[in-house]
Amino acid sequence: MALSSYYKQLVDQRRELHQWPEPGWTEFTTTNYLARKLKAWGYEVLLGTKVVKPEACLGRDEKEVQAGLQAAREHGVSEEFLKATEGYTGCVGVLDTGRPGPTMAMRFDIDCIPVQETDDPNHIPNKDGFRSKHNGFMHACGHDCHMSIGLTTAKWIVDNKDSLTGRIKIVFQPAEEGVRGANAVATSGVLDDVDYFLGSHIGMVAKYGEVVIDPWGFLCTTKYDVTYDGKPAHAGVEPNAGRNALAAACAATMQLLGIPRHGSGMTRVNVGILHAGTGRNVIPAHAKLVMEVRGETAAINDYMSEQAMNIIKGCAISYGVKYDVRTMGAACDMKNDPEMVKMLREVAGTIPEVKQITGEANFGGSEDASLLAKRVTEHGGKAAFFVTGADRKAGHHQFNFDVNEPALDVGFRMFTGMVKKICGRK
Amino acid sequence: MALSSYYKQLVDQRRELHQWPEPGWTEFTTTNYLARKLKAWGYEVLLGTKVVKPEACLGRDEKEVQAGLQAAREHGVSEEFLKATEGYTGCVGVLDTGRPGPTMAMRFDIDCIPVQETDDPNHIPNKDGFRSKHNGFMHACGHDCHMSIGLTTAKWIVDNKDSLTGRIKIVFQPAEEGVRGANAVATSGVLDDVDYFLGSHIGMVAKYGEVVIDPWGFLCTTKYDVTYDGKPAHAGVEPNAGRNALAAACAATMQLLGIPRHGSGMTRVNVGILHAGTGRNVIPAHAKLVMEVRGETAAINDYMSEQAMNIIKGCAISYGVKYDVRTMGAACDMKNDPEMVKMLREVAGTIPEVKQITGEANFGGSEDASLLAKRVTEHGGKAAFFVTGADRKAGHHQFNFDVNEPALDVGFRMFTGMVKKICGRK
Amino acid sequence: MALSSYYKQLVDQRRELHQWPEPGWTEFTTTNYLARKLKAWGYEVLLGTKVVKPEACLGRDEKEVQAGLQAAREHGVSEEFLKATEGYTGCVGVLDTGRPGPTMAMRFDIDCIPVQETDDPNHIPNKDGFRSKHNGFMHACGHDCHMSIGLTTAKWIVDNKDSLTGRIKIVFQPAEEGVRGANAVATSGVLDDVDYFLGSHIGMVAKYGEVVIDPWGFLCTTKYDVTYDGKPAHAGVEPNAGRNALAAACAATMQLLGIPRHGSGMTRVNVGILHAGTGRNVIPAHAKLVMEVRGETAAINDYMSEQAMNIIKGCAISYGVKYDVRTMGAACDMKNDPEMVKMLREVAGTIPEVKQITGEANFGGSEDASLLAKRVTEHGGKAAFFVTGADRKAGHHQFNFDVNEPALDVGFRMFTGMVKKICGRK
Amino acid sequence: MALSSYYKQLVDQRRELHQWPEPGWTEFTTTNYLARKLKAWGYEVLLGTKVVKPEACLGRDEKEVQAGLQAAREHGVSEEFLKATEGYTGCVGVLDTGRPGPTMAMRFDIDCIPVQETDDPNHIPNKDGFRSKHNGFMHACGHDCHMSIGLTTAKWIVDNKDSLTGRIKIVFQPAEEGVRGANAVATSGVLDDVDYFLGSHIGMVAKYGEVVIDPWGFLCTTKYDVTYDGKPAHAGVEPNAGRNALAAACAATMQLLGIPRHGSGMTRVNVGILHAGTGRNVIPAHAKLVMEVRGETAAINDYMSEQAMNIIKGCAISYGVKYDVRTMGAACDMKNDPEMVKMLREVAGTIPEVKQITGEANFGGSEDASLLAKRVTEHGGKAAFFVTGADRKAGHHQFNFDVNEPALDVGFRMFTGMVKKICGRK
C-alpha cells in the first residue's frame, strides 16, 4: 500500500479532532481549530453570519450553544475568536489563486453525535489513546475524518497553488447530524458564486478499496420535535383527574413506527428520543418526542409527514392533551452531475488503492449536502457527492464505530485529484 | 374562628420550609432546620444511621444525594452537621419527661416532589412571597405543613412538659414520596420501644372543618425502575440493525396501563417517567421507566406486580432487548387501632373548627407510615393515622396545589390533644 | 340436607333448559317452554310487545332473531306461538288471587352466553347427559337455574294460591347478557302496577350456604358497538394507498384498556370481540369492536364513556378512517329497599341450609334488573335483589361453569318465602 | 385500435368467469369451466394430484373446500368431474403437436379475493351486467382476465397447431392469492419437463399501451396464521381472572406494523384479518391473526419473519396466553431469463397497441409464479414473467377494481407471439 506523503497529517489531525467531539451548533472548539490552521496556511477565513444565516438555522438549541461556548473558553479558545463567530459555528476558507478560473467549493461536516464511546480496550481510539474526552459524545459518523481530509486538502492546495487557477472554498459546515446546518449555510449565500461543488462521506455503503462515484438514495427527510401537554394528578388518589402526556407519546410512537410502507419507494421513521414525566406517582403532564421521517422522494417524504401529523393529532385527542410540532431539520434528494461523475471516475482510476469504482449505489441515508448542491445547481453550477469506502468496525452512529485510517488517504487523493481536474492550469 | 396561640409559629415555619423543598434522601438543608430547632428546645436529636438503616433504603440516588449535600453547603449548613448525618437525611427528636409513662411517636414526612410551582400571581405562595426557590421542586403534597405541625407540636410539648409523662419521639421521616423512606426508618429500630404511633396527612379526602379518624384504602404499592437496553443503529442507513429500547418501553407502557382491573378491589398503575434515546436519527438503545403499581390488598398488589413483570419481560422479547427491574419503594395497607380511633374522636370533638368527624373514609393513596405502623404493632404497640381536612386549590402533586393555613392549626391541636390523652399526667 | 319437595322439578327443568341455550333476543324455544308451562298452570301469559317495547330494545340483531325463529321451528315450536311473540322473546305470567293485596313481580332472566361448553368428561352436564346441544352456546351464567327457580316458584304459587292475596307477575326477561333486555321490558309498562319487585342471581360472590341480602356494587354500564371504515389496498403493491381499519381498532383497544382508573370508585372496560379485515394481503378496510365500560356510579360510568369516545375518535384521526358508535346496552346501579332487606333476612333465617346471611357485599357486576327496579321505585314501589350462594366449578361465563343443584332449592325457598311475606293471607 | 379476431372470445369468457369468483382451493366451478373448454378443443386435461401435490398445499382450509364443492354441485358441476379432481382445484391442458420441439408452459392463476364488489352503477361489471354473483367475493386482481387470455391462447394454439412444434402446457394454477398454490403445483412435478416457462400479470405497474418485459421486485414473502389462546372470565366480576387473547393480538399487531424497515431493501408486513373474542362482557380467550411479511430478498424476508416471531412470542408472555403459528403461503424472488426478455421485446414490438416497452420496472408485489419459475430453472429450463399494462379504475384488490378489456388482447398477443417464437416451425 502506497500512502501519500500527507498521510501522517491526515491521521494526526483526525486523532486530535476525535478527542473533542462537539454536537451540532456548538462546535466552537472545533471551528477554532479549523480556522486557526486555515489562517496559518494563508486562507481568508469567513466566520459567523458570513457563512450561516441565523434565521435559517434549524434545530439550534440556545442552551447547548452556551454550553459549547463555555467549553470552548475552558479549552482556551480566545474571546476574540468567539466574538468573531457571532455565536455561529462553522467556517469557510477561501483561497484565490489570482488566476482566472472556476470557483470550486468542497464541503466537510464537523459535528459529532451524542453517543458514549465504547470502553472496549480493543477499540483503536482506546488502544491508541485518542478516545473522546467529551463524555456522552463521539465522532461516530466519521466527521473527524472528513475534517482532516478537508484540512489536508487545504494544505495541499497551498502547497500546489502555483499549478492551480480560479478560487477555492473549503466549507466546514456545522450541524450535519439532524440535517440542521446546510439550510443556513446555503441561505447565507456563501456558495452563490460556486461553479463546482463537491462533497463526500466516508464508509457508509462502501468498503475500503471502493469508491462510489454516483450514489443515489439520498432520502428526503424532515425532522420534528413534538410535545404533548396534559395535566398532572396524583396517580393513587385521582388518576382520572390527570391527562397523560406520556401515554399519548407512547401511543403515538407505536403508531408512528407502524406508518405503512410506501409502494413507490423507501421510507423511514424514527422516534429517537422520548422524555416524559416528572415523578413516579404523578400522572405525566409533559412529553417530548424527537423524531424524523424519510422518503425516497419528496412526495414519499410528504406522505410520511402527513401520516405522522395525523397520528400526532389523533393521539392528542385520544388522551385529551395538547400538542405542538416544530420542524427541526430538512434535507432533500440529490443527483450527481454527469460531467463530475466522469471526472470522479477518472480520478479514482489513478489511485492504486481503489480496487473498485462503483457507479450507482444506494446511499441509503439523508445528507444535507443535498441542500448545498441544490443551491449551487439552482444558479447553474455543477455538484457531485461521492462515497469514500472504508472498513468499519461497526455501523455508523454505533458506540464502537471506527474506520481504517488509510481510507482517509483515498479520500484526500480523490479531493485533490478533483481540484487538479477542475482548477488545474491547463 | 379561634386559632391557637401557636398559629403564627405554624404559618411562619411552614412558609420558611416551603421555600426550599428538597426531594427524598436529599433533605439536608431541611433536616438541619428541623434538628437545629429541636436541639434548641431541649430535644435529644438522633441523626444518620440511628434513624435510617442504609441497607434498607429504597430508591436512593447517590448523585442526587451529593447534589443535596452540595446545596446544603451553599445554604450554609455546617460540615459538622453534614458529617453527623452520615449522608442520611431525617431526624428524630426525643424528649424524656422523666416520669414513667408510655413512649409515643409522631411521624412527619419532610420531602417534596419534582413539580415546578405555578407562575400564577394569585397562587398564595407567589402573592405572599414564599414561593419555592428550588427550581423544578415544590412542596406540592403539604409536607411543609406536616413539618411545621411537627415542630410546633414539639415546641408545645416542651412548653407543657410538666404536665406530661413518658417519652416522646418526634420522627421527621425522609423520602415519603415514592414510599421510599419508611422502610429504612422502620428497620433502624428507632420505633422499637414505641407504645403509641401517630401519623397524619393534610388535605387528601377531607375539606377544612373535617377530620377523618379512621381512613382506609391505604393501597399497598410497589415502585419499580425498569431499564431496557438494546442496540443503537443509524435510523436511515440500517434501522434493522438496531434493537429499539424506546419502542419496547412504549409498548410496555401501553400494556402496563391496560393491566386488567381486579374484581376484588382497587388497583393502580402508573408510568410516571419515561426517558429513552440519545439522538433523533439513532435507533434508541436505552430506555428507563419509573413506575409503580398499587392494590387494595397485598394480594391485589402482588397480582399487579406479577402482570407488570410479565409485560416487562414480554416486551423485551418482542423487541430483542435486555431488561432490568429494580424495586424502589414499598408500602402496605394499615388499619387504625380502635382505642386510638376513640381517642381521636374525643380530641376532634374538643376543637370547635372541626365541624365533621368522619369515621371510615377512603384514603385512596399509599403511605409508607403504614410500614412504621406495622413495625410498632408487630411488637404490640398501637398505631393510628388520621386525615386533617384542608381546603385545597388543586389536587395534591399539582403545580398549583395549596392549602388554607388554618388547617395547620387543626392538625396541631389534634396532635397535641393526642399527646395529652396518651402522655398527660393523670 | 333437607331439600324441598319441589327439588326434582327444579333439577329436571334446569337440565332440560340447559340443553338448548339461546342468546339474547332469540329465546323463542325457551320462551315457548316457559309460556307453555305457565299457561298449563293457569297463568295468563303476556307475550311480544305487551312485555317488550320494540323501540327500546338494545343490541337486537335481526339476523340472529331470524336464526332463533328458524331454530324454534326446527324444535317444533308452533307458528301460532311464534306469531304471538311478534318476534320478541320473553314472557310474563300473571296470576290474580282474586283477593285484594299487593302486586308482586319476580324477575328471572332467560338467555345464555356464546361460550362452547367444555368437553371435560367430569363436567356434570357431560357426565349426566344434559350438555348444551346448541353448538357455541352455553348457559354459563346460571340463567337455566334462574328459569327453573322461576317456574317452580310459579308452580308453588298455584299450589298455594288459596293462602295468597293480590297479584303476582312472573317476569321472564330476555337478553340480560349485555344488559340489553331490561330497558325494553321496563319501558313496556308491564311493571307499572308493581308494588314489590324481587330479583336474584345464583353464585357470583356467594358460596352455597350463603345468601347475600343487600348486595351493592351493581356497576353502571354502557355497551357500545364501534366500527371503523377505511380503504382497502394491496398490502404488497401499495400499502400506502390503504386506510387501515384493523390497525385503528387495535390502537383503540390498547388505549381503551388503559383508560385511567378512577379515584372515586371501581371502573371496568372490555373489548369483548374484535373482527377486522377480509384477506391476508389486503389492507383491512373494516373493523368492528364490541365493547363495554362500567363504573361504580353513573358519574364514573360517564367518565369511562367520555374517555372511550375520545379514544375512538382519536384513533380514527390517527389512521385516517371513519368511525361509528352505537349504544347496545345499559344498566344502572341499584340499592335494596330496607324493608325488603329485613324480609329477606327473615326468610333466609328459616332455611336450614343457609348457614350465613350476609348483609352488604360487593356484587361486582352489572345487572339490568337495576333498570326494572328503577322503574318500580320511580312510581313508589319497592325493589330488592339478592344473591343465592352456590358452589361453582369455575367462574361465571367460563366454559366449565357449573353450580351445585341444591343451590336451586335455596333460591326457590327464598322466592316462595318472600311471596308468603308479601302476598300471604294475614 | 386494431383488435385481434379473438377479442370477442376474450371478453365473453372474462365476463362469464367474472360472475362466479372462487377463493383459492375452492375453484371447482371455475376448474370445470376451464377443463371443459380445453377438452373440447382437444387438450389432454390433467386434474387433481397430477397437478397439485396434497402435502405441499399451503393455506388450504378443508371447510372452505367443502363449501366450494357444494357450490359446484349447485352450479351443476358433475359428480364425475368432482371425483376426478380428487378435491384439488386447478388443471393443466397438454397439447402435443406431434413434432419434435421444446416443451413450453404458460401459467394462468384462477382464484379470486374476498372483497365485496362495489355497488357503484358506473362500475362496468354493474353497468354491463356481469357483476360477481358470489357474495363477498370478487375477481379484483384480474385473474378472470388471466384465465380468459389463457383459454383464448389455448384456442389459438389449436387453430394454429400445424405451424407449431413441441408440446404445450396451459397451466391453470389454483390459490395464487396468498401465494398458496404454486408450491403444490411445482412439487407435483407437472413442470419438470418444461423448457420454457412464461407467466404474466395484468395491470400492476403498467398502464394500457405498456408492456414490462423484465420486472423485478418480486418480493419474497411468507404467510402466517397466528392464534392466541387465553382464558375467559366475566369482564365485570373478575377481569383479573382472564387471560386476554384479543389484547395480545392487538399488541402484536401494533408491534408487527412497526417492525423496523430494512436498510438493504423493501419490506412489507400486514395483518389482514383479526378475529377475536366471543362476547362483549367476556375477557376474550381466543384470537386469530392472518398475516404476512415480505422482503426484497430472501434474507430480508427472513429478517421480517424473525422479528415477527419475536413479537408474537413476546406478546404471549406479556398477556399470559399461549400461541401457535402456522405457515400458510410462500413465494420467492425471480429474475427473467435474458433470452426470453429479448423474445418478449421482439414480440411486443410487433403489437401496434404497445406504445412503450419497459425493460426493468419494479413489480412491487409477490407472485408465486416465482416458485414455478424456480422449479423450471432448477432443471435447466428458462423462465420469464411480464406485465401486461392496463388502465385500472382502482388499485388491485379494491372493491372497484376494473381494467380496460382491450388490455386482454395485448396479453393474448404477447402469449401467442411467444408461442410462435418458441414453438413455431422454423
Question: pLDDT for D314-342, tens place per residue?
Answer: 999 999 999 999 999 989 988 999 999 99
Where is D362: in which H helix or E strand?
A: strand D356-362
Minimal C-alpha gap between B274 and chain A (Å): 5
Nearest CA in chain C to A238: C263
Q: Do B261 and C261 touch (CB under 8 A)?
A: yes
Beta-carbon contacts below 8 Å between B and D = 83
What is each CA distance from D372 to A359, D38, D383, in whole angstroms? 34, 21, 9
Burial pattern D341-356, b for ≥16 Cβ within 10 A else e, equals bebbeebbeebebbee
Q: Does B303 touch chain D (CB under 8 A)?
A: yes
Cα–Cα distance for residue pair D415/D421, rounded to 1 Å: 10
- Report chain A's C-alpha Rg in angstroms: 22
Edge-first strand listing for the sheet containing A44-46: A44-46, A91-96, A167-173, A103-109, A196-202, A382-388, A210-216, A356-362
What three-state secondary structure class fits B311?
helix
Q: CA triplet A359, A365, A371: central angle to 5 degrees?
A: 90
Task: State pLDDT tens for residues C359-397.
Answer: 998 886 789 999 999 999 999 999 999 999 999 988 888
Q: Which chains border D (3 or more CB–CB pairs < 8 Å)?
A: A, B, C
Residue B199 has pLDDT above 60, yes or no: yes
Chain B CB contacts of A286 below 8 Å: none
Total residues found in chain B within this entry: 426
Cα–Cα distance for residue pair A151/B308, rounded to 1 Å: 55
Three cell numbers written together for A151: 484540512
Q: Do C397 and D279 touch (CB under 8 A)?
A: yes
Minimal C-alpha gap between C136 and chain D (Å): 9
Q: Do A238 and C264 touch (CB under 8 A)?
A: yes
Nearest CA in chain C to B263: C364
Residues 26-65 of A with CB under 8 A from B: none
Q: Which of D344, D369, D354 is nearest to D420 (CA)?
A: D344
Give the closest of B261, B266, B268 to C268, CB-based.
Answer: B261
What three-state secondary structure class fits A152?
helix
Span B75-93, average pLDDT: 97
Task: Quote the pLDDT of residue A1.
Answer: 57
Cα–Cα distance for residue pair C245/C285, rounded to 1 Å: 5
Task: Quote the pLDDT of residue B1.
Answer: 57
H helices of A290-352, in order, are 298-319, 338-349
Chain C CB contacts of B363 below 8 Å: none
Minimal C-alpha gap between A364 and chain D (Å): 7
Q: Give which of A205, A219, A254 to mutate to test D binding, by max D Cβ within 10 Å.
A: A254
Give the closest of A254, A263, A267 to D261, CB-based.
Answer: A267
Q: Supply the mean pLDDT for chain B.
A: 96
Chain A CB contacts of D219 below 8 Å: none
Q: Do A266 and D266 touch (CB under 8 A)?
A: yes
What three-state secondary structure class fits D164?
strand
Q: Do D261 and A254 touch (CB under 8 A)?
A: no
Q: Which of B184, B180, B265, B264 is nearest to B225 (CA)?
A: B180
Q: Do D261 and A261 touch (CB under 8 A)?
A: yes
Burial pattern C283-304, b for ≥16 Cβ within 10 A else e, equals bbbbbbbbbbbbbbbeebbebb
Minimal C-alpha gap between A270 and chain D (Å): 9
Span C98-112, average pLDDT: 98
Residue C92 has pLDDT above 80, yes or no: yes
Residue D211 has pLDDT above 60, yes or no: yes
Span D110-115, average pLDDT: 94
What DSSP letter does each residue of A359-397 carry, written as one string? EEEE--S--THHHHHHHHHHTT-EEEEEEE---BSS-TT
Three cell numbers written together for B104: 409515643
Q: Give which of D205, D219, D221, D254 to mutate to test A binding, by max A Cβ within 10 Å.
A: D254
Digit-by-digit pLDDT tens for chain A (426 residues) are 589 999 999 999 999 999 999 999 999 999 999 999 999 999 999 999 999 999 999 999 999 999 999 999 999 999 999 999 999 999 999 999 999 999 999 999 999 999 999 999 999 999 999 999 999 999 999 999 999 999 999 999 999 999 999 999 999 999 999 899 999 999 999 999 999 999 999 998 899 999 999 998 788 999 999 999 999 998 988 999 999 999 999 999 999 999 999 998 999 999 999 999 998 989 999 999 999 999 998 899 999 999 999 999 999 999 999 999 998 998 998 899 999 999 999 999 999 999 999 999 888 678 999 999 999 999 999 999 999 999 998 988 889 999 999 999 999 999 999 999 999 998
Cα–Cα distance for residue pair D186/D334, rounded to 1 Å: 15
Q: Supply the mean pLDDT for chain D.
A: 96
Chain A CB contacts of B176 below 8 Å: none
Q: Do C272 and D279 touch (CB under 8 A)?
A: yes
Cα–Cα distance for residue pair C301/C41, rounded to 1 Å: 43
Q: Do C239 and A313 touch (CB under 8 A)?
A: no
Q: Do A240 and C303 touch (CB under 8 A)?
A: yes
Give the closest of A254, A266, A269 to D254, CB-based.
Answer: A254
Nearest CA in chain C to D141: C234
Task: State pLDDT tens for residues B207-245.
Answer: 999 999 999 878 899 999 999 999 999 898 899 999 999
Q: Supply the mean pLDDT for chain A.
A: 96
Chain C CB contacts of B260 below 8 Å: 257
The secondary structure of residue D116, as a DSSP letter, is P
Span C266-291, average pLDDT: 96
Q: Does C303 touch chain A (CB under 8 A)?
A: yes
Give the closest of C232, C238, C270 to D281, CB-based.
Answer: C270
Q: Does A98 touch chain B (CB under 8 A)?
A: no
- Neighbouring C-alpha atoms within 13 Å toward the C-beta of C300: 24
CATH of the domain spanning C7-217+333-423: 3.40.630.10
Q: Which amino acid is at A137?
A: F
Q: CA triplet C177, C180, C183: central angle to 5 degrees?
A: 135
Minimal C-alpha gap between C258 and chain A (Å): 9
Task: State pLDDT tens for residues A154-196.
Answer: 999 999 999 999 999 999 999 999 899 999 999 999 999 999 9
Q: Do D271 and C277 touch (CB under 8 A)?
A: yes
Contact D255, B320 (CB under 8 A): no
Minimal C-alpha gap between D23 and chain C (Å): 10
Confidence class of residue D216 from pLDDT cuts 50, 70 and 90? confident
Q: Do B234 and A365 touch (CB under 8 A)?
A: yes
Q: Do A273 and B290 touch (CB under 8 A)?
A: no
Task: Please state the ipTM of this predicted complex.
Answer: 0.73
Cα–Cα distance for residue pair D196/C376, rounded to 1 Å: 83
- Neighbouring C-alpha atoms within 13 Å toward the C-beta of D407: 26
Give the closest of B219, B281, B291 to A178, CB-based.
Answer: B281
Residues 6+ apart with CB under 8 A from A268: A219, A221, A292, A293, A294, A295, A304, B235, B236, B239, D261
Instruction: State which fold the B7-218+332-423 domain adopts.
Output: Aminopeptidase (3.40.630)
Instruction: State which fold the D7-218+333-423 domain adopts.
Output: Aminopeptidase (3.40.630)
Cα–Cα distance for residue pair C81/C94, rounded to 1 Å: 18
Q: Give which of A397, A399, A401 to mutate to test B binding, by max B Cβ within 10 Å.
A: A397
> What are the sequence ranges of the domains in chain C?
7-217+333-423, 220-330
Minimal C-alpha gap between C268 and chain B (Å): 7
Nearest CA in chain B to A394: B233
Q: Do D239 and C268 touch (CB under 8 A)?
A: yes
Contact A209, A348 (CB under 8 A): no
Chain C CB contacts of D280 below 8 Å: 178, 223, 270, 272-273, 290-292, 328-329
Task: State pLDDT tens for residues C30-63.
Answer: 999 999 999 999 999 999 999 999 999 999 999 9
Nearest CA in chain B to C250: B254
CATH of the domain spanning D220-330: 3.30.70.360
Q: Does D365 touch chain C (CB under 8 A)?
A: yes
Angle, helices A28-40 vs A62-74, to 10°: value is: 60
Q: Does C349 touch chain A (CB under 8 A)?
A: no
Q: Do B236 and A250 touch (CB under 8 A)?
A: no
Q: Does C294 touch chain D (CB under 8 A)?
A: yes
First to last CA, chain C: 30
Residue B200 has pLDDT above 80, yes or no: yes
Residue D1 has pLDDT above 60, yes or no: no
Total residues found in chain D within this entry: 426
Give the closest of D254, D267, D364 to A258, CB-based.
Answer: D254
Q: Supply the mean pLDDT for chain C.
A: 96
Chain B CB contacts of D306 below 8 Å: none
Q: Does A272 touch chain D (CB under 8 A)?
A: no
Confidence class of residue C168 from pLDDT cuts 50, 70 and 90? very high
User: Strand B382-388 vs strand B196-202: parallel, antiparallel, or unpaired?
Assistant: parallel
Minimal C-alpha gap between D254 and chain B (Å): 9
Q: Does C261 touch chain B (CB under 8 A)?
A: yes
Cα–Cα distance for residue pair D330/A151, rounded to 1 Å: 54
Task: State pLDDT tens for residues C210-243.
Answer: 999 999 878 899 999 999 999 999 898 899 999 9
Q: Does B397 touch chain C (CB under 8 A)?
A: no
